[in-house]
Amino acid sequence: MSEQKTALVTGANKGIGREVARQLGRLGHKVWLGSRDEARGRKAEEELRAEGIDAHFVQLDITDAASVQAAVAHVEAHSPQLDVLVNNAGVGSGLMSPASTESLAEIRDNFEINFFGTVQVTQAFLPLVRKAPGARIVMVSSGLGSITLTGDMKAPTWNLAAMGYSASKAALNMFTVKLAKELLAEGIKVNAACPGSVATDMGGPTAPRSVEQGAAIALRLATLDWMGPTGGFYHDGDGPGIAPYGW
């Protein structure tokens, strides 16, 4: 019998993060639920455990170095390795503000969580990830971080503002490629996922995709076999495969 795989999902107390955790748990993974808010994290843990999932809350504020280090120590004390890291935690500030007037505070808020926080937590957990053969790292990005899509007048996102948010996700995409190149020889695959417009707190109740649909591509990238891609930016398209997104 093979050893149980272990996964950590940041921002796992709700939305896409909780659904990714649920699906990984259904595949047999032990899942750490990274959550800044303890009450919400404990509630998610309770709900997933009621479904038979091996879920465990860990307090994790990805922007707080002390919180990140404490989370690493806690996970390491209970799990010898980390097979999957899904960087889902994120924020969307200033989504309606034109680039010419968006406040620096809103822009910094996006970068602090979507980019710097994700880099911080990834670097901190990397020694534990390196202990797992064939580990997978997934960055939950956004189509708004695609310069190709942003410049396409025919794209449905043409009239959206969200400069700070978009730039933070574009930076996250660059981190994805650089890290994938660095870890290639170690067999660790690193990819970015675009979940699409999902009915979450950020996407709003009228968004066209469900959390199950939004979580699908992150799940696929988290469970790639040895022949799967690395250093890419993907969405799930309309079929069973994964479709590349333009950078």
Beta-sheet strands, E only, within the chain: 6-9, 30-35, 55-59, 84-87, 136-140, 189-193, 233-235, 243-244
**Is-contact 89 78, C-beta < 8 A?**
no
**What residue segments make up the domains of the chain, in order of their start?**
6-244
Q: From residue 204, give the alpha-carbon distance in Å to each of 15, 117, 176, 198, 211.
A: 11, 24, 27, 7, 11
Which pairing describes strands 243-244 and 55-59: parallel, antiparallel, or unpaired? Answer: unpaired
Residue 133, pLDDT > 80, answer yes
Q: 127: which 2 tokens?
A: 């020694």
pLDDT > 70: what percent of the chain? 92
* CA pair distance 247, 244, nearest whole angstrom: 9
Residue 199, pLDDT > 80, answer no
| 27 Cβ contact list (under 8 Å, min separation 6) | 223
Q: 3: which 2 tokens?
A: 């050893």
* CA pair distance 57, 41, nearest whole angstrom: 6
User: What are the pLDDT digits (tens) for 7-22?
Assistant: 999 999 999 999 999 9
Residue 202, pLDDT > 60, answer yes
Percent of the chain as helix, strand, coil, to the nearest 5? 45, 15, 40
Return the CATH class of domain 6-244.
Answer: alpha beta
Is residue 234 part of the annotated active site? The answer reads: no
User: What are the pLDDT digits (tens) for 111-120?
Assistant: 999 999 999 9
| pLDDT computed for residue 1 by the predictor | 39
Describe the crossing of helices 38-50 and 15-26 by its angle, rounded to 10 degrees. 30
Residue 142 dihedral angles phi and psi, to the nearest 5°: -160, 150
Mean pLDDT, rounded, for 179-191:
98
Exposure of 224 by Cβ count < 10 A (0-12 exposed, 13-18 middle, 19+ buried)?
Answer: middle
* Least confident stretch, 82-86, 157-161, 191-195, 217-221: 157-161
| pLDDT computed for residue 178 by the predictor | 98
| pLDDT computed for residue 4 by the predictor | 93
User: What are the pLDDT digits (tens) for 50-100?
Assistant: 999 999 999 999 999 999 999 999 999 999 999 999 999 999 877 788 999
The CB-side HSE value for 237 (13 A sphere, CA atoms) comes to: 10
Catalytically annotated residue among 57, 165, 175, 233:
165
**3-state SS assignment for residue 129:** helix
**Is-contact 94 39, C-beta < 8 A?**
no
User: Please, what is the average pLDDT of the chain?
Assistant: 91
Q: Which residues of 74-101 are buried (b: 16+ CB within 10 A; e: fewer)?
A: bbeeebebbbbbbbbbbbbbbbebeeee
Q: Which pTM value belongs to this model?
A: 0.93
